[in-house]
């Protein structure tokens, strides 16, 4: 895809860069070896490495005239080389006559008797020269104008000589490796890299096909993991884990919708039945109780849904005493009209917990509403807030049998068909308490009845 990096291309480029680096290291190694060998053999300086460049420049400066005679006509580069080295001298000899060519340094021609020199290659020194660069080189070689004997003397090493020496080493290495090693190595490694990467990524293509078949109706499917390379396996595993979370989230949303429909169906049906039935004493109280129950259910469902989508609401500092007082105030009038009372106890100081105020109020409202429905006529529901961030709601009704104290928190559990509601409210309460890091427990109240106790973690107070 355009705009996205290719692993194959990156691998091939990396291989080429590495091989070029290895070649550069080889060139540097050869140069280091030559320099080390030179010093080990007693060479006092790097001047011998200037000789190669000087001979090449001198050879390029030899010209053959129209009459066929040879002469030295320094090129600009050779003239610059000579001007930078005051000790430098040069000469060229006709190989047949051993005569110095025109343009040779007179002082060098005068110092040496080339006419009697039969040697083809030599290194020499002029004893009378007191300077530091008194080494000379003589070699018979081909020039652009033909064969000649080149003589140079007094070479002084410079930065240009090092670059030229590197160039010669690289040229020698490339001339051999380009034909027999380097180019085949590049081609072979590129083909291997291309094949390996393509073959290695083939299972990822199968995973892509698997992903293309997944939609909201098939979230239980997972990406194929067979033969997936170790390097790619964490990505595939992470995608599968994400699919599991999405599947769980969608399942929660579907349960939420089903829960809302189930939970609201019964109180709405009861409300309709009351409205259609003949008016009896306490009709208004019953209607208000049904409306409050519907409101509590809707509030709990909305809070449970929003907390999953807006976790920032869980970062509020909530005074448990104030939240409990608010809900008791809302329930007190209805409780009195229903022939019941609410007794409230709390510390004089705030009890602060971290969480969502709406969720905490929904928890208290559900438990108080359940306690009022369980409390016998004329009885009193006790609500106690503890300094340890606990809140206990106690009724004096039939209570909850020990074998059923875990079952009542399961969605849609009811003791029997005569039990009102769908059994969903306490399941939502436990979920909201769990989101706050708290615990909820039910036990037998003193004197009979049920005691629901919720304990929240205290907020960190600075």
Q: What is the distance, to the nearest Å, from the Cα of residue 322 to the centroid of all Cα atoms in its chain?
A: 46
- Radius of gyration over every alpha carbon of the chain, rounded to an integer in angstroms: 49
Contacts of 305 (CB under 8 A, 6+ apart): 256
* CA-to-CA separations, 212 to 200, 208, 223, in angstroms, rounded: 20, 6, 10
The domain 247-455: what is its CATH number?
3.30.565.10
How far apart (Å, rounded) are the C-alpha atoms in residues 49 and 420? Answer: 104
pLDDT digits (tens, 9 = 90+) for 278-294: 777 767 777 777 777 67
CA-based nearest residue to 350, from 381, 330, 329, 324: 324
Question: Can you give the pLDDT of all 462 residues of the chain as single tens digits?
Answer: 454 456 566 666 776 677 667 666 765 665 565 556 555 444 445 666 678 888 889 999 998 887 888 889 999 999 998 888 888 889 888 888 888 889 988 888 887 766 555 667 778 878 777 777 778 888 888 888 888 888 888 887 776 776 776 676 666 656 655 555 666 666 777 777 677 676 666 666 777 777 777 777 677 777 777 776 676 778 778 888 888 887 777 776 676 666 666 666 656 766 776 677 777 776 777 777 777 767 766 766 676 666 655 666 778 899 999 999 998 988 888 788 888 999 999 999 999 999 888 889 888 988 998 899 889 999 999 999 999 999 999 999 988 888 888 888 776 555 554 444 444 578 888 888 888 899 999 999 888 899 999 999 988 755
Model pLDDT for residues 290-345, shown as the tens digit of each residue: 777 677 667 666 766 666 556 667 788 999 999 999 989 888 887 888 889 999 99
For the chain, give every domain's residue range.
47-157, 247-455
pTM of structure: 0.44
Q: What is the DSSP string of 322-349?
A: HHHHHHHHHHHHHHHHTT-EEEEE--SS
Task: Assign residue 99 a region (left: φ > 0; alpha: ψ between -120 and 50; beta: otherwise).
Answer: beta
Contact in structure between 414 and 423 (CB atoms under 8 Å): yes
Nearest to 58 by CA among 20, 27, 101: 101
Beta-bridge partners for 317: 354
Q: Is the dihedral of CA 300, 301, 306, 308 positive or negative?
A: positive
Nearest to 274 by CA among 301, 258, 257, 294: 294
């Amino acid at each position: 895809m355009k705009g996205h990096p290719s692993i194959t291309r990156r691998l091939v480029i990396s291989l080429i860069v590495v091989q070029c680096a290895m070649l550069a290291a080889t060139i540097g190694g050869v140069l280091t070896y030559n320099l080390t060998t030179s010093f080990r053999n007693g060479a006092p300086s790097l001047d011998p490495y200037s000789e190669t460049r000087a001979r090449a420049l001198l050879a390029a400066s030899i010209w053959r005239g129209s009459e066929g005679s040879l002469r030295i006509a320094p090129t600009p580069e050779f003239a610059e080389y000579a001007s930078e080295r005051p000790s430098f001298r040069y000469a060229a000899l006709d190989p047949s006559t051993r005569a110095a060519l025109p343009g040779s340094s007179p002082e060098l021609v005068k110092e040496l008797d080339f006419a009697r020199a039969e040697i083809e290659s030599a290194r020499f020194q002029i004893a009378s020269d007191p300077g530091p660069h008194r080494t000379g080189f003589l070699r018979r070689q081909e020039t652009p104008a033909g064969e000649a004997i080149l003589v140079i003397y007094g070479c002084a090493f410079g930065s240009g000589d090092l670059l030229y020496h590197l160039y010669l080493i690289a040229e020698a290495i490339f001339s051999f490796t380009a034909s027999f090693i380097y180019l085949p190595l590049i081609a072979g490694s590129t083909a291997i890299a291309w094949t390996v990467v393509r073959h290695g990524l083939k299972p990822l293509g199968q995973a892509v096909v698997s992903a293309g078949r997944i939609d909201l109706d098939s979230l239980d499917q997972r990406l194929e993991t067979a033969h997936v390379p170790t390097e790619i396996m964490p990505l595939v595993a992470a995608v599968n884990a994400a699919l599991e979370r999405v599947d769980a989230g969608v399942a929660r949303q579907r349960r939420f919708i089903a829960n809302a429909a189930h939970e609201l169906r019964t109180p709405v049906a009861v409300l309709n039945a009351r409205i259609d039935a003949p008016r009896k004493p306490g009709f208004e109280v019953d209607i208000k109780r049904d409306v409050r129950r519907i409101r509590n259910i809707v509030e709990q469902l909305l809070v449970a849904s929003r907390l999953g989508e807006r976790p920032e609401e869980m970062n509020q500092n909530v005074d448990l005493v104030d939240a409990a007082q608010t809900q008791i105030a809302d329930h007190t009038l209805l409780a009195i009209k229903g022939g019941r009372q609410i007794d409230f106890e709390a510390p004089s100081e705030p009890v602060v917990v971290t969480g969502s105020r709406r969720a905490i109020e929904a928890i208290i409202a559900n438990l108080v509403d359940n306690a009022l429905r369980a409390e016998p006529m004329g009885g009193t529901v006790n609500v106690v807030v503890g300094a340890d961030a606990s809140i206990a709601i106690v009724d004096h009704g039939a209570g909850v049998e020990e074998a059923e104290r875990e079952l009542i928190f399961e969605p849609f559990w009811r003791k029997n068909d005569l039990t009102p509601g769908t059994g969903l409210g306490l399941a939502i309460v436990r979920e909201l308490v769990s989101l706050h890091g708290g615990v909820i427990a039910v036990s037998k109240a003193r004197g009979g009845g049920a005691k629901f106790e919720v304990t929240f973690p205290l907020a960190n107070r600075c």
